[in-house]
Amino acid sequence: MSDSHSAKNYLPGTHPDLPPPVRTTGPIAWMRINLFSSPLNIALTIASVWILWSIVPGILNWVVFNAVWSATDRKDCWGQMDVARDGACWAFIRGSFKLFLYGWYPEEHRWRPNLCFLLFLVAVVGVLRENMPGKKYWLWYAVAFPFIAAWLLVGGFGLPPVSTNKFGGILLTVVIGVTGITFSLPIGILLALGRRSNLPALRSVCVIFIEFIRGVPLITLLFVASTMLTYFLPPGSTFDLLMRVLIMVTLFSSAYIAEVVRGGLQGLPSGQYEAADSLGLTYWRAHQLIILPQALKISIPGIVNTFIGLYKDSVLVLIIGMMDILGLGRARLNDADWLGLAPELYAFIAIFFFICCFSMARYSLSLEKRLETEHRR
């Protein structure tokens, strides 16, 4: 009676909203919709849980619970386990971490790669963060960063020179990946515009370049960079091997970027070009203000996918004698004290590449959502 009496105290339209049923909101509703919405989903959910239950405990035991973090060699590491090889011997990675990180970069100058990494993070945050004060200056800083990094790492102009032969490990991988990503995007955009140009000579040059690069494996281009390229140089002249590799990797990636961007340009309605013409904009102003912003937004998934592939392909430099993280790891496995620890090495390398590539993929998704302007159902 008290409930009915209290209900009469509310005027029409003033009764407070009641909470929704538990079955339609919260974790229970999410599981009903996504995991148990049909017999097929129920079967797939049960199978997935069974697979995870069978695999995850063993992985955790090997990676974490039975792992050894401090040991002098392989025998000492396995001796600390209840059963030999029952866990990961992370002491191998821990003892070689500086080698994997810097390669043979002189120890007294390792503050320079560290400073480069910090400056790189600053450039990434300044460019990618939305509503950053002084955005124009951050963009100029990002453009200047590759040259600042080259000066810090290689030396000159007041810094002691360091030969690129000392580069190795993660340092070499990041240098190749970041350089290729940084320079391949603008070159790829120019190639895409050139392929769609009305000038026959320019269009032919861009088409031949793109199709040739896409038709030749990267490993072949790396062999050309390491051996045959010196035959075309004047006698007695030298060209740094790392610089040759950076040029080939950049050109290889730019050809794929060009096709991705061309797809974005072709995906725009013709009305966008007509609107730019009606405003009296020049070719470059029209592409700067109207065409390219929309085309690049469409091309974000393909561009980032190409970047991820380029970053992983950096391990191919091992074939021409450059010791990236994979090459150094395999060389370290030849040490008699650490024989038989390949699983730990490849797990460490896989985790490193996964973190880098997953970060790029997640930022790509967030950028797509931020730039999304179409209405979805």
pLDDT digits (tens, 9 = 90+) for 283-328: 888 888 889 988 988 999 999 999 999 999 999 998 888 899 999 9
Condensed to tens digits (0 to 9), the pLDDT of residues 192-213 reads 999 998 899 999 999 999 999 9
Domain ranges of the chain: 19-65, 96-105+162-371
Ranges of H-type helices in 196-237: 200-215, 218-226
Q: Which range in 8-22, 185-199, 332-346 is most confidently predicted, on average pLDDT?
A: 185-199
Sign of CA dihedral 228, 232, 235, 240: negative
Under 8 Å between Cβ of 214 and 259? yes
Q: What is the pLDDT of residue 373?
A: 66
- pLDDT at position 255 is 95
Structure tokens at 19: 């909470």
CA–CA distances in Å: residue 107 to residues 110, 111, 158? 5, 8, 18
Q: Model confidence at 74, in pLDDT bands (50, 70, 90)?
A: confident
Residue 354 is predicted with a pLDDT of 95
Q: Is the pLDDT of residue 22 over 70?
A: no
pTM for this predicted structure: 0.84
Question: Exposure of 314 by Cβ count < 10 A (0-12 exposed, 13-18 middle, 19+ buried)?
Answer: buried
State CA 268 to chain mean position distance: 27
Average pLDDT along the chain = 87
Q: What is the CB-side half-sphere exposure of residue 309 using CA atoms within 13 A?
A: 14
Q: CA angle at residue 181 from 176 to 187, to 5 degrees?
A: 120
Do residues 16 and 7 touch, judged by C-beta distance below 8 A?
no
Locate 78 and state its tokens: 């396995």
CA–CA distances in Å: residue 344 to residues 329, 333, 347, 350, 351: 10, 10, 5, 10, 11
Confidence of residue 228 (pLDDT cuts 50, 70, 90): confident
C-beta separation of 112 from 156 below 8 A: no
103 neighbors 328 (Cβ within 8 angstroms): yes
Nearest by Cα to 210 from 223, 194, 186: 194
CA distance 290 to 56: 50
Pick the CATH number of 96-105+162-371 from 1.10.260.40, 1.10.10.10, 2.30.29.30, 1.10.3720.10: 1.10.3720.10
If one counts every other C-beta atom within 10 angstroms of the C-beta of residue 261, the result is 26
Angle at 152 between CA 150 and CA 153, to 5 degrees: 65
Report the pLDDT value the prediction gives residue 33, as an integer from 0 to 100: 83
Residue 308 · residue 359 · CB < 8 Å: no
% of the chain exceeding 70 in pLDDT: 93
Give mean pLDDT, residues 115-138.
84
User: Going along the chain, which residue ranges are E strands?
Assistant: none
What is the mean pLDDT of the segment spanning 207-221?
93
Question: Contact, 266 vs 192, CB < 8 A?
Answer: no
What is the arithmetic mean of pLDDT over 103-129? 89
Q: Assign 89 to helix, strand or coil.
A: strand
Burial of 136 (0-12, 13-18, 19+ CB in 10 A): exposed
pLDDT higher than 70, residue 3: no
> What secondary structure letter does DSSP report for 20?
P
**So what's the pLDDT on residue 1?**
45
Say if residues 175 and 146 touch (Cβ distance below 8 Å). no
Query: Which pLDDT score is estimated for 216?
Result: 92
